[in-house]
Structure 1
Amino acid sequence: MLTTAEPHGSAAPRLTTTVAREYVHRAALSEVLLTGWSKVGRDAFTATAQWPRSHSFYVPEYGLHDPLLLCETIRQTSTLLAHVGYGIPLGHHLTWSRLQFAINPQALRTEATPAEISLHVTCADIRYRRSVPVSMSMHLEAARDGVLVAMASVGFASHSPAVYQRLRAGREVSEVFANAPQPPEPVSRSTVGRLRKQDIVLAPTAERLRWQLRVDTSHPVLFDHPLDHVPGMLLLESVRQAAHAMDPARAGAVLPTSMDVSFNRYVEFDEPCWIEAEPMPATGASSGTRDKIRVNAIQKGFSAFHASAELTDAAWL
């Protein structure tokens, strides 16, 4: 006999899939991290995610998952719940105003299987217009096998297509994306700890601790689909790379273990955006193992975003 029937009463296997890619604003199924969600209260939800053992852009180093994989998980979770939890229609544009997170680096260790992440989400500060939310904040706790991975919060607004067109002065996504200028030559790979030129988001300037934001719209992860402005995940990557570039001779990977980022304006493709970094005084608790920096992005004379970040050297973990 080549096969045997399952015995009566045996438990059915648990089948796992990802959420619909449209709900997390992704074109590539391979880039969808979320595997499910449920509503557990009036403004409370749970979601599940899986982090791959390897990723083409969020590369594990020193046996640790990339902390920015958490940020992409936060982005996907907030987008998913905005649509399925609050009925914000697909086609509406979601825009971050602030992102904060603090991560437990010990919980980032890669293992023999992908990391299964559970997220507990509560929503607050919800403003409605005609029964559809136009802004809210979400507070998230991420855990892995019962161990706290991170705490985070994100604030964002939702714009209907008509409102978004007014905000963007009629810019058409396809036209703006097609006419994005070619990126300038990057800083060296060793300066930012990146092996591939395509993954480098900083270009050199004549000033120390000042770079031009390098926007390569052909990047398959950062630009998974056409956009009419620089995405938030690229801006977060610029903070991480600026931290590395401040001291490129340091040993080990630089892990952004906490960030507080305010997004003030859309970063456009057709004007240079300057990334400026400065060290912040270290506290007694962080001295020796952790550094703090402040990063500001300037475009057309205005602050497009500003961030403070705490960096942990993986060699100390």
Structure 2
Amino acid sequence: MNETVTAAVSHPARVAKDLVHKHDAGQVLLSGFRRPAEDEFLVVADWTDTAWLGATGDSRQDGAVLLTESIRQTFPLLAHAGYDVPFGHRLLWSEYRYTLNLRTLREGGTGGRPELRIHCDDVVRRRGRVTALSLAITVSRDGEELATAHTLFTIQQPAVYERLRGPHGDADQMLALARSRPLPSPASGASDEFRDAVLSPTDARDRWQLRIDTHHPMYFDHPSDHAPGILLLEAAKQAARTMRHPRVGVAEAMETVFHRYVELDAPCWVHAQLLPDDQLGRARFLVTISQNELPCFTALVSVAKGQTG
């Protein structure tokens, strides 16, 4: 299966939506992959038509949303087509970090067909089945590096996931409950687009309520029983952006850890703390997302001065 699923990298079609866990085929960002070695993959992305993203102003230019969603789509692609993980198994994000090459992205933009060179290490198997993968990723286009990233995710069998999630594992029930409650207002400066704002203001400048729009076409492309990881990553970016507003700056790098699920049936809080600048002169923020007084997600966001905001 590993070799026969391989798609020609020059073919304009995109991979089947089921292989990247998308309901909307128009949101598929990957066009194919090949496998040079056992745990090495070359995945080709297609960024030529991404109007559906409707991303915030800086996201469309700095590439972070495209990069992260492209990488997120490699999880199921490699799990199913590369390591024979059955459909229905759950892929759980554990860690993620990225660094953008802002000079290259500013000069060349975020279009085209970049390549993601992926090395899979720390491949954990139990009873012959892969249960965890760590990916080291280099993203390039026309020989120029756009970004590097590293991520770790684990894989759970459906029965295990259902047992651990309990009543929170019913996506339809959780979504119905979330949609029965009013959506909080968006925070000023968090996003250029009302639809994409994931923060809602509080009385404190450095604290927000997480704004979970379960009708958002990207974050909830398919039913989910919890807030998706990419929404939490965007919340960390928007928290740093709001703290700096109206000064410009791009989230050039981020290091994140996912501690537990953000549920849809209770308010969730985002807190940002300004840290000393790093050795490159970038502003740094520690963003924590908590629910029911328990940490769910932490992110160290490094913001570079830039021409975008």
Do they fold alike, i.e. is TM over 0.5? yes
Residue matched to 1:101:
98
Deviations 1:255-279 (A, max 9, x none): 2111100000000011111100011
Shift of 1:23: 0.9
- Which residue identity does 2:193 align to in structure 1? L
Task: Determine which of 81, 86, 89 is the counterpart of 1:84.
Answer: 81
CA-to-aligned-CA distance 1:124-172 (integer Å, 9 cap, x gap):
1111122111112111111011011111111011111111101111431
In 1, distance between residues paired with 2:98 and 2:183?
30
Q: Displacement of 1:15 after TM fit?
A: 3.6
Paired position in structure 1 for 2:229: 232
Displacement after TM superposition at 1:107 (Å): 2.2
Q: Report whether the alignment pairs 1:221 with 2:195.
A: no
Q: Which residue of 2 aligns with 1:43?
A: 39
In structure 2, do the counterparts of structure 1 residues 202 and 123 end up closer, same or farther at CA, with 3 Å as the change threshold? same
Q: Is 2:289 the counterpart of 1:294?
A: no
- Any idea what SS the aligned residue of 2:68 has? helix
Assess if the C-alpha contact under 8 Å between 1:192 and 1:200 holds in 2. yes
For the 8 Å contact 2:113–2:141, the answer to whether it is kept is yes
Tell me, in whole angstroms, the C-alpha distance in 2 between the residues paired with 1:50 and 1:210: 36
Shift of 1:39: 0.9
* Aligned residue number for residue 20 of structure 1: 16
Tell me whether 59-68 or 111-120 shows the greater mean CA deviation.
59-68
Match of 1:172 in 2: 170
For residue 190 of structure 2, the aligned residue among 186, 189, 192 is 192
How far 1:247 sits from its partner (Å)?
Answer: 2.0
Residue of structure 1 equivalent to 2:201: 204
Give the drift of 1:90: 1.2
1:111 Cα deviation after fit: 5.3
- How many residue pairs align between the two structures? 296
Task: Note the C-alpha offset of 1:214.
Answer: 0.6
Moved more, 54-63 or 208-217: 54-63
1:275 equivalenced with 2:255 (yes/no): no
Distance 2:128 2:142 in 1: 37
Q: Are the equivalent residues in 2 in contact too, given 1:193–1:248 (CA < 8 A)?
A: no
Kept after mapping to 2: 8 A contact 1:53/1:110? no
Shift of 1:75: 0.4
Tell me if structure 1 keeps the 8 A contact 2:290–2:296: yes
Structure 2, gaps ≥5 residues long:
1-9
- The answer (yes or no) to whether the contact 2:56–2:191 under 8 Å persists in 1 is no
Counting aligned pairs with the same residue, the percent is 36
Q: Tell me whether 1:309 sits opposite 2:301 in the alignment.
A: yes
Normalized per residue, the structure richer in helix is: 2
Q: In 2, distance between residues paired with 1:136 and 1:127?
A: 7
Rounded Cα–Cα distance in structure 1 between residues aligned with 2:224 and 2:284: 31
Alpha-carbon distance, 1:60 to partner: 5.7
The residue identity in structure 2 corresponding to 1:244 is: R
Distance of aligned partners of 1:302 and 1:66 in 2 relative to their CA distance in 1, 3 Å threshold: same
In structure 2, the partner of 1:73 is 70
Q: Are residues 1:182 and 2:204 paired?
A: no
Mapped contact 1:267–1:299 kept (Cα < 8 A)? yes
Q: Is the 8 A contact 2:35 2:41 kept in 1?
A: yes
**Unaligned residue ranges in structure 1 (runs of 5+):** 1-13
Residues 39-72 of structure 1: per-residue CA shift (max 9 Å, x gap): 1111111100011365333356598343121011
- Residues of 2 paired with 1:277 and 1:119: CA distance? 31
Moved more, 295-304 or 14-23: 14-23
- For residues 12-58 of structure 1, the C-alpha deviation after alignment (integer angstroms, 9 at most, x for no partner) is xx541101111111111111000001111111111000113653333
